[in-house]
Amino acid sequence: MPALAGVTVVCWLMGSADESPDVHGPRLRSLTEHLVDTPVRGLVYEAAGTTNPTLLEQGASIVRDASHTWHIPAEIVDTDPVDHEAWLTAMEAAVNRLLST
């Protein structure tokens, strides 16, 4: 967590982390629990990619729960990264919404 000292928004871009299913479960949950004690004021979760859709939905659910429980502003982006321009536009918009709150 010390690495997050100067970070305002965390982008969890693991939608194609096929070999690491824990990043949509226990690791993500741990991150959200620890964000409360950092200066981070927003979380963007990539809910699209080549990873199993069930895992991506699990991750999105964790982010929604964390946002509700700890009042962490969050954005869930489900734009397919195969369409890079659309994905980039969606990610930039999500970060900008978090920065403007």
Burial 71-82 (b: 16+ CB within 10 A, else e): ebebbbbbbebe
Q: Which residue type, as a one-letter code, is found at position 96? A: N
Domain ranges (residues) in the chain:
42-80+88-101
pTM above 0.85, yes or no: yes
Provide the terminal-to-terminal Cα distance of the chain, rounded to the nearest Å.
23
**Residues 87 and 47 sit within 8 Å (Cβ to Cβ):** no
pLDDT digits (tens, 9 = 90+) for 38-73: 889 999 999 999 999 999 999 999 999 999 999 999
Smallest Cα–Cα separation from 71: which of 25, 36, 27, 99? 36
Residue with tokens 């929604």: 64
